[in-house]
Amino acid sequence: MSQPRVSFRHPPPLCSFLFAIVLLVATFYTLHHPDATPPHLFSPNKHNSLTLRRLFLSSASNATVSSYLHSLTRHPHLAGTKPSLDTLNYVLNHFQSLRLDDTRVAEYEALLSYPTHFSLTARFSNDNTTLEFDLNDDVSSSSDVVMPYHAYSPSGSASGNVVFVNHGEERDYRALEMVGVSVRGCLVLVRKGETLGRGVIVKTAETKGALGVLIYDEKDGGGLGGIERGTVMRGIGDPVTPGWPGVVGGEKLSLEDDLVSKRFPKIPSLPLSLHNAEIILASLARAKAPVEWQTGRVGS
Residues 229-266 have pLDDT tens digits of 889 999 888 999 998 988 888 999 999 999 999 999 99
How confident is the model at residue 42, as a pLDDT? 41
CB distance 238 to 111 below 8 Å: yes
Which residues are bridge partners to 120 per DSSP?
A: 4
pLDDT of residue 97: 84
pLDDT truncated to tens, each residue of the chain (300 aa)?
333 333 223 333 332 222 232 333 332 333 333 333 333 334 445 557 787 777 777 777 788 888 888 888 888 888 888 888 999 999 998 888 878 778 888 888 889 988 888 888 888 877 678 888 888 766 555 567 788 889 999 988 888 889 999 999 999 999 999 989 999 999 999 998 888 899 999 999 999 999 999 999 877 655 566 788 889 999 888 999 998 988 888 999 999 999 999 999 999 999 998 888 888 888 886 666 676 675 443 333
For residue 216, give Cα distances in angstroms to 167, 183, 192, 227: 10, 18, 6, 7
Query: Under a CB-based contact definition with an 8 Å cutoff, are residues 270 and 133 in contact?
Result: no
CA 174/CA 73 separation, integer angstroms? 42
Angle between helices 46-59 and 18-31 (to 10 degrees): 90
Output the pLDDT for position 71.
86
Task: Read off the pLDDT of residues 106-133 as tens digits, 9 standing for 90 and up.
Answer: 888 889 988 888 888 888 877 678 888 8
Looking at the whole model, is its pTM more than 0.85? no
Instruction: Note the pLDDT of residue 143.
Output: 64
Which of these, 76, 14, 85, 22, lies nearest to 238 by C-alpha position? 14
The DSSP letter of residue 41 is G
pLDDT at 98: 79
Give the pLDDT score at 37: 36
Could you give the CA distance from residue 35 to residue 111 in angstroms, rounded to a whole number? 36
